[in-house]
Amino acid sequence: MQLDLSILDDDQLEALFVAVCEEAMQRGPAMSAAIREAGLSAAERARVAHEAAGREAAKMRAEEEARIAREAAERVRLDGAGDQTRRNWGVRKGIALALKTVVTDLCKFPMADLEIELWQKGADRRLYVGYGFGKNLFAYHVTGGQLHPPGTVEVLRADKDLKANKDQLRALGAAIAAALTGTGKVSMSTALAWEGDAVQLSGFEPRRQVVNS
């Protein structure tokens, strides 16, 4: 028989339980033993349920703490990556501004489409500045070899202004090579268009060069 006791409040349910126990005690040892067993079974079930609920709550807390920790670590990682990205673009913009003082202001070559390329094959590492393969203005030999010792500037255009400012090109190449790692190309137009602050190119101070016409 299934009784619906949900309509009873706590006090009424407790009073009913006491009344049932008292009535059972009066009906003999067998009924008393049954009531005691039922009471113990209910208490055991309540204890097991309570412990299970505690374990589940602890599991949920641990999972939530792990999730919060992961999100915090990810935010730190992304913030760090953002800072590094801004730093990288700031360095590139500083390089573009330094190049402009020599390539455009002194040697009269446009900044549009200008790029730098860090190239390496084995121990031979070079820096090219210009407009791509076959259109470069000069090369700076970072490591050098038999033909070009380390620190050599190779002017790749028959241009009097480039040749007259070769010392500045050498200083510029050395500073850029020190500021960048790895290999690949970097667009100077894109670097100049970046809205963040430029990081001044260390080791290079532009000078006004007088060129005889």
* pLDDT, tens digit, 9 for 90 and up, residues 15-72: 766 676 666 666 667 666 666 666 656 666 666 567 778 888 888 888 888 887 777 6
Whether the predicted pLDDT of 90 surpasses 90: yes
For the chain, domain boundaries: 91-193
Distance CA 103, CA 95 (A): 12
Whether the predicted pLDDT of 112 surpasses 70: yes
Question: For the ranges 68-77, 118-127, 140-149, 179-188, which has the lowest average pLDDT?
Answer: 68-77
Question: For the ranges 6-20, 97-111, 135-149, 190-204, which has the lowest average pLDDT?
Answer: 6-20
Amino acid residing at 92: R
Query: What value does the mean pLDDT of the chain take?
Result: 83
Confidence of residue 160 (pLDDT cuts 50, 70, 90): very high
Kindly state the average pLDDT of the residues 186-202: 92
Question: For the ranges 64-73, 95-104, 115-124, 150-159, which has the lowest average pLDDT?
Answer: 64-73
